Amino acid sequence: MLEERSRAAFELSEEQRAIGALAAEIAAKEIAPHVAAWDRDHAFPRHLYTKLNAAGILGILVPEQYGGVGADYVAYALAIEELARVDAGAAVTVSVHSMICNAVLKLGNEEQRRRYLPRLASEDYLGAFALTEPEAGSDANALRSTARRSADGYVLNGRKQWCTNGSYSGVIMGMFRTSDRDRGAISAFLIENSTPGIVVERVTEKLGIHTSNTCDLAFDDVHVGRNALLGEEGQGFSGAMTALHGGRIGIAAQACGILAACLDASVKFAKERHAFGKPIGAFEGVSFKLAQMATDLDAARLLTYRAAALCSAGKPFLVEASKAKLFASTAARRHAAEAVQIHGGYGYTTEFPVERYYRDAKITEIYEGTSEIQQIIIGRDLLGRLDRDR
């Protein structure tokens, strides 16, 4: 198979292959038969994550001592890709959950690790992320939600947009301003979703990834203890960036999965659909599209696996993750359009899945840092901060 050749070049371990195969098996059995209906109904398949949890998929990045699988980021990327190959919404749900696991592992103290990681890894307990606000998207430092000190902790107030998993989560990693004087004084908190004062104000209707839950959360006088603070007070922005950098590997892998699904569907259709007495794949106008699609998929995978391997090795991976996400998301969006074109009129109907891939692909260029943000990161690595005031 095409993916075996591209993955073989990366010399995947048996454990990595096994985890990828397990995710593919679950996706084929538990998601594929239902995903079209879930997408049509904008349904969040909560029961699916009970099964993924039992299989260890939600605890891939959590060390064994905390109840997880203890696998590396390459295995994680493979699992996300296989899920996204069938349903991009399920893939981003697992990706954001894993991002929270990683944030607790890297930024949390031992008490927080022991409190949350076993639940996130093995107790059917989803993690959510709350960063964006109406006036704070790419400019995360502009957020206005506040955390005011109280006698025994903090009182949280504010509104958050586009919180993935927010309606169904057990714990939310939320970002709040702990000082009005310092624009950068943002702190991260681990907030139990059952805490009084948290309300789901709106579930967002989206162009794609319909099976993913995205909502607006209101925090009205939400009281949390001091042990809810994740990392040091005022260091939440760097904490959020730590989480997002790892999350970008997940989104790059999601884009690879969407692109792989486009290729699968397009090759199948090109062999079966006939025009002018022969399969449409016999025409160069189609075969060249497939050739470019396969080439870009290989390139996207290798960029993603490289970033994942560097992350697992504890080496710098920020720029590599940005390159992987930038390339993979652009390729997924472009080739999803080509997949629709190859399918002709059928591609514009819900009878074939490529219209869903087309809708799902676009968001990979936006969340976890837009393509423009990735270009800024890559450009600064090449040129330095030429935009700094002198």
- Taking the C-alpha atoms of residue 352 and residue 151, their distance in angstroms, rounded to an integer, is 58
Judge whether 172 and 128 are in contact, CB under 8 Å: yes
Residue (of 67, 103, 306, 288) closest to 190 by Cα position = 103
Phi, psi of 273 (to 5 degrees): -80, 130
Judge whether 128 and 134 are in contact, CB under 8 Å: no
Judge whether 254 and 84 are in contact, CB under 8 Å: yes
Q: Is 325 helix (H, G, I), strand (E, B) or coil?
A: helix
Q: Which amino acid is at 383?
A: L
- Taking the C-alpha atoms of residue 12 and residue 78, their distance in angstroms, rounded to an integer, is 10
Helix (H), strand (E) counts: the chain? 12, 10
Judge whether 96 and 130 are in contact, CB under 8 Å: no
- Those residues whose C-beta lies under 8 Å from the C-beta of residue 339, and which sit 6 or more positions away, are 262, 263, 265, 266, 293, 347, 354, 357, 358
Q: Single out the catalytic residue among 233, 365, 368, 372.
A: 368
- Those residues whose C-beta lies under 8 Å from the C-beta of residue 388, and which sit 6 or more positions away, are none
**Active site includes 368?**
yes
Residues with catalytic annotation? 368
